[in-house]
Structure 1
Amino acid sequence: MPLPPPMGGLMEEWEEGMGESSSPPHPMAMGHGSLKDKDPEELKRRLYERVVESRRPEELPEEASVFLRHLGRLPIRYLIDLGIDRADDVLLHWRILTLCAHPDNRPVFHARFQKCITVPAAKFDDDDDPCQSLMEDLSLERRNKGRAGVGADNTDSMSISSRDKKTLLLHEIIFSSLDKPKLLSRLTALLSEVGLNIREAHVYSTTDGFCLDVFVVDGWETEETEDLITTIKEALSRKNVGDSEIDWNLLTMGEKIATGSFADLYQGSYNGVDVAVKILRDSHFNNSSVNHENVLQFYGACTRPPKYCIVTEYMPGGNLYNFLHMQNNVLDLLTILRIAIGISKGMDYLHRNNIIHRDLKTANLLIGRDQVVKIADFGVARQGNQEGQMTAETGTYRWMAPEIINHKPYDHKADVFSFAIILWELTTSKVPYDNMTPLQAALGVRQGFRLEIPSSVHPRLSKLIRRCWDEDPDVRAVFAEILIELEDILHQAQANRGSSRRSRAKMQKKTPG
């Protein structure tokens, strides 16, 4: 999007005097004086007509009202900046903001090559003030554009020899997320970190709390954008840009779902999206930056007094404990394996990121759509220390590893022990040690007592459970091994089921009608 940059003395005002939701003043609006004087609704209508004329029907929103609402959520300045001839840009921005509406997609960004420009090489080699150099280059480019058609190219070729020129590739980066304080400064720092120089920046806020930030940058040495997108994604994951502080005023609280020792859990909504809101009784909480399909998605947190809360995705199926023991569900082998594989994938991800859950149990496993299970409640989760072991009792007795019960040093293998208990629950649909109090169960585990595995349990699952709750943590498998074993059992079970179905079909054909 080749929008003009802030010029001269306006740069300081942009950096210091304007809010996060503002865009630097620029001459484009002045260049569209006739548009600036138009009624906003007329601008929207004309822009929509131009979009319809230039695109195929399948590329457009189903109804004109959808597109007009999109334009209405953006400031009038956006319409003036773009004019009525930028149908491609407007449709791209609409698609980006539509993606951004779903929390799982945030933050959304798009990168595309824009054009090549030629500038004096000395500006990048010897200048002590890169900002001043940037302003001079942009002024020179604008003056050259003004001389177009009256020998500007000849003048350039005479004043700057080819050996003193440097060719720069310009790319456009478009970013969208929830509009939050200091987001712009975090974005500019991120682009700088990956070696990009910002030549233009245009920042828009929507009326429903999102941002649409457009940067024109140089510093990427190829027109291809695939590697650029990968590089930005990696930087985004390191910086966690677009997440963190939640505005309490944008939260709508619903009914209370559950009450715990440290927090109350509510159903709610944030910017129109269903969420779960955990209201903390003090300001201490663990905000581990994780992103995996089998780990509950963290949206943000309120960390300013007097409101402390964590906002996550809402899981309509409740927790696995209630699913098994309150609803009395008995699972078949394929369902057991699919759930166990999902848990293993999530735990493998956490352990590879050096996060030990420390309270893994069915009550902390939430069920989403299509029975996808996600690991939740990191209230006691923590990073492993340098020695790879920790001490002090934490967790829940019925799922607790013996080394924790005994107040011995422990590491990620404590989670593997807890997983063995969960796997036993899945195969039996029973509460662990249901004839004992939690303390009696802990004392039994401490003395080597283990749950009885029914003979009906798949023999390979039975063997895996025994290995995972072994007294010696070194004997227990890691989740990468557990995952391989479970997937192999699943493939075998699916193949056996397919063979059985084919055999029954053959028998039915042979049976006389």
Structure 2
Amino acid sequence: MTLLIRQHPSYFEPSTSELPQGCAPTFKMSVASTMLARKKTKLEVFQAYSKKLSERGDIDMSAPGFLESLRDHFNRLPTRYALDVNIDSLDVLSHKRLLEEARSDPTAVSFAIRPVEVVVSRHRDSSQSPTISQSRHKEKTYLPKPAFGSSPNLQALTIEAGEKIADEDMASPSGHNHDGEHMTFYEITVASADQPKLLSRLSEALSDLGLNIREAHAFNTNDSFSLDVFVVDQTERQTNSNLEELLGDRLAQMPPPSGAASGTPQLKLPAEDPIASALSAMQQIPARPGSPAADDWEIDIAQLQIDAKVASGAFSNLYRGSYCGQEVAVKILKDVQDDTSQYQEFLQEVSIMRKVRHKNVVQFIGACTRKPNLCIVFEFMSGGSVYDYMRREGMLSLSQVLKIAADVSRGMDYLHQRKIIHRDLKAANLLMDEHNIVKIADFGVARIIETTGHMTAETGTYRWMAPEVIEHRPYDEKADVFSFAVVLWELLTCKVPYSEMTPLQAAVGVVQKGLRPGVPASAPPALGQLMEACWAQEPGKRPAFRDLTPRLQLMLQAAKDEESRRAAAAALAASKPVPSGGLLSKLRGKG
């Protein structure tokens, strides 16, 4: 993978307008100004930024195509980029250059590193000014603020650090007290062609270098590129140039986007007749004659008929079809011949699905393991996913929530007894049959628990991920219990967890701030307590599914009884005759 590193002077040298004389940078914003900012459009932000560049006097605004390319930069990124980025600096131009470098070579990862600074007041005496004196400011060399420095996560970090520093001063035996403390972080900006699991791979690369992610902002452009901005600090201090070299070496190990390495477009099924193309491609592979008993799950392609596409994902397409007269779902992998790790995940999924048979786990029927046409065949779930069901039906009753939860808990208890961790439990991976029985699906990232009982390496989906998985610490089956608690929140609210945040921002909040979705008001106390226990920060404090299942079944029976009682009371009230007498008849002289 090509690496492009750019240290533009304008990117690393703060302008004088960034730091007001006599005061430290502040990240405070009133509620009114926040609401006003949120009403701005990308065009208005572009115009405001262009005006600020013109006022600087050191930017050639008349260069051919400059303003057009700047407007195009804002248009290609989501509105939240324009609303959140610091337009008082040259960060936007730096982001634009990095994306242009990535576009010029889609196999490249273009990145830049710069130190950024947050100043924390250390005054404990309320009579003193919270700002640092101008004379002390003159003695310091200032670093720029982060490009998205007004975010709540970084504000909270600053406050916590300030309190810690003040406590250390109070405890100092020498009585030495400083006026202010400059906290130095690094801002790492990465631009590249977008690809599946990009955020996961970038966060893993930073973690491998001993960098703690304090803040993260991820943006996708409308032409399939990604701009990711991280604010980090280090467990081991290194020079900027050394860190740049180490990060460059680490990012070079990331796989290039699918199809980019060879310069050829990804292989896709023709839009005019995708079913016929899929069948034609698969039938080029002859069936394996005389397959031994150990491979009796290897499907006979001649017996597989594909009828229609059901869904499309980053790595595979899902079709409805039939196999030997049975209605089935067929998961066909895309371009897997170019990605060895993806092929290994496919084999792992086949291996795990062959081992399981439970009424709350999707039933495996067979697979074709011959490249390049790899597929998995399993029972067809006519009810679709629980995620789709919630959006189709609206808010669920308490008994529906608990019934789904009990089904999932039974399936997960079975998997854990078989030493299998799912690692990506969420409503989208739970399927329903025609009888509304819920079954666990998608074992693409599932794994067998190792003999040590713990695993490492991050996987899954950030919004549902346990803190120990996010931090790349050893973990066990209790990581699934954490995800199950977030699934319960999904079922009660019919919403996506942390929808107001980017996935990586949510992950940072879960680890650094103990962020949780919160127990919904509609949850009974017993269910709320169960959720809080399941998403406890420490894995050892979370219950096992073998304990959760009977608790959920008791809650389900109680909910059904209560709903039956209310239905009976409502029916009785509706059947009562209306009295013929009363106030109206008395007014008419008939009482």
The aligned counterpart of 2:519 is 453
Matches for 1:107-126 after TM superposition, within 5 Å: none
Residue 507 of structure 1 deviates from its aligned partner by: 6.0
The aligned counterpart of 1:276 is 329
The aligned counterpart of 1:259 is 312
User: CA 1:443–1:260 in 2, change beyond 3 Å: closer, same or farther?
Assistant: same
Q: What whole-Å deviation, never above 9, does each CA across 1:370-400 have from its counterpart, x for those lacking one?
A: 2111100000111000011100010000110
One-letter code aligned to 1:305? K
CA contact (8 A) 1:417 1:470 kept: yes
The aligned counterpart of 1:331 is 396
Secondary structure at the counterpart of residue 540 of structure 2:
coil
CA contact (8 A) 2:489 2:519 kept: yes
The aligned counterpart of 1:378 is 443
User: CA 1:472–1:246 in 2, change beyond 3 Å: closer, same or farther?
Assistant: same
Structure 1: tracts of 5 or more residues without a match: 1-178, 187-240
The aligned counterpart of 1:128 is none
The aligned counterpart of 1:418 is 483
The aligned counterpart of 2:413 is 348
Q: What whole-Å deviation, never above 9, does each CA across 1:33-87 have from its counterpart, x for those lacking one?
A: xxxxxxxxxxxxxxxxxxxxxxxxxxxxxxxxxxxxxxxxxxxxxxxxxxxxxxx
The aligned counterpart of 1:465 is 531
TM-score, scaled to structure 2: 0.45
Q: 2:545 aligns with which of 471, 475, 479?
A: 479
Residue 268 of structure 1 deviates from its aligned partner by: 1.4
One-letter code aligned to 1:455? A
Q: 2:380 aligns with which of 301, 307, 314?
A: 314
The aligned counterpart of 1:250 is 303
Q: 1:405 aligns with which of 470, 480, 484?
A: 470
CA contact (8 A) 2:359 2:439 kept: yes
CA distance in 2, matches of 1:256, 1:318: 13
Secondary structure at the counterpart of residue 435 of structure 1:
coil
Residue 243 of structure 1 deviates from its aligned partner by: 4.6
CA contact (8 A) 2:429 2:440 kept: yes
Calculate the aligned-residue CA RMSD, in Å. 2.2
Matches for 1:80-99 after TM superposition, within 5 Å: none
Q: What whole-Å deviation, never above 9, does each CA across 1:420-479 have from its counterpart, x for those lacking one?
A: 000001011111111111111111111211112222211111111111000011111111
Q: 2:506 aligns with which of 438, 441, 448?
A: 441
CA contact (8 A) 2:489 2:520 kept: no
Q: What whole-Å deviation, never above 9, does each CA across 1:7-52 have from its counterpart, x for those lacking one?
A: xxxxxxxxxxxxxxxxxxxxxxxxxxxxxxxxxxxxxxxxxxxxxx
One-letter code aligned to 2:317? D
Matches for 1:55-94 after TM superposition, within 5 Å: none
Q: How many residues align?
A: 279
Secondary structure at the counterpart of residue 257 of structure 1:
strand
1:301 and 2:367 matched: yes
CA contact (8 A) 1:400 1:442 kept: yes
Matches for 1:15-26 after TM superposition, within 5 Å: none
CA distance in 2, matches of 1:243, 1:315: 23
CA distance in 2, matches of 1:512, 1:242: 72
Q: What whole-Å deviation, never above 9, does each CA across 1:219-240 have from its counterpart, x for those lacking one?
A: xxxxxxxxxxxxxxxxxxxxxx
CA distance in 1, matches of 2:445, 2:373: 21
CA contact (8 A) 2:406 2:552 kept: yes
Q: What whole-Å deviation, never above 9, does each CA across 1:273-321 have from its counterpart, x for those lacking one?
A: 2111111233431222211111001000011234211001111222112
CA distance in 1, matches of 2:518, 2:559: 23
CA distance in 1, matches of 2:380, 2:440: 13
Q: What whole-Å deviation, never above 9, does each CA across 1:133-166 have from its counterpart, x for those lacking one?
A: xxxxxxxxxxxxxxxxxxxxxxxxxxxxxxxxxx
One-letter code aligned to 1:467? A
CA distance in 1, matches of 2:520, 2:445: 32
User: CA 1:247–1:462 in 2, change beyond 3 Å: closer, same or farther?
Assistant: same
The aligned counterpart of 2:558 is 492
User: CA 1:506–1:264 in 2, change beyond 3 Å: closer, same or farther?
Assistant: closer
CA distance in 2, matches of 1:320, 1:497: 22
One-letter code aligned to 2:380? Y
One-letter code aligned to 2:485? A
Residue 367 of structure 1 deviates from its aligned partner by: 1.5
User: CA 1:441–1:315 in 2, change beyond 3 Å: closer, same or farther?
Assistant: same
Matches for 1:202-213 after TM superposition, within 5 Å: none
CA contact (8 A) 1:328 1:429 kept: no
Residue 508 of structure 1 deviates from its aligned partner by: 6.8
Secondary structure at the counterpart of residue 351 of structure 1:
helix
CA distance in 1, matches of 2:549, 2:439: 15
CA distance in 1, matches of 2:525, 2:289: 55
CA contact (8 A) 2:298 2:366 kept: yes
Q: 1:365 aligns with which of 430, 436, 444?
A: 430
Residue 411 of structure 1 deviates from its aligned partner by: 0.4
One-letter code aligned to 1:482? L
CA contact (8 A) 2:533 2:542 kept: yes
1:393 and 2:458 matched: yes
CA distance in 2, matches of 1:427, 1:263: 30
CA contact (8 A) 1:252 1:268 kept: yes
One-letter code aligned to 2:456? T
CA contact (8 A) 1:243 1:299 kept: no
Secondary structure at the counterpart of residue 381 of structure 2:
coil
Secondary structure at the counterpart of residue 311 of structure 1:
strand
Matches for 1:10-49 after TM superposition, within 5 Å: none
CA distance in 1, matches of 2:571, 2:318: 50
CA distance in 2, matches of 1:483, 1:459: 17
Secondary structure at the counterpart of residue 301 of structure 1:
strand
1:291 and 2:357 matched: yes
CA contact (8 A) 1:299 1:311 kept: yes
Secondary structure at the counterpart of residue 474 of structure 1:
helix
User: CA 1:500–1:273 in 2, change beyond 3 Å: closer, same or farther?
Assistant: same
User: CA 1:302–1:491 in 2, change beyond 3 Å: closer, same or farther?
Assistant: same
User: CA 1:362–1:243 in 2, change beyond 3 Å: closer, same or farther?
Assistant: farther
One-letter code aligned to 1:366? L
One-letter code aligned to 2:399? L
CA contact (8 A) 1:343 1:374 kept: yes
TM-score, scaled to structure 1: 0.51
CA distance in 1, matches of 2:413, 2:554: 17
Secondary structure at the counterpart of residue 539 of structure 2:
coil
Percent of matched pairs sharing the same residue = 50
CA distance in 2, matches of 1:351, 1:467: 18
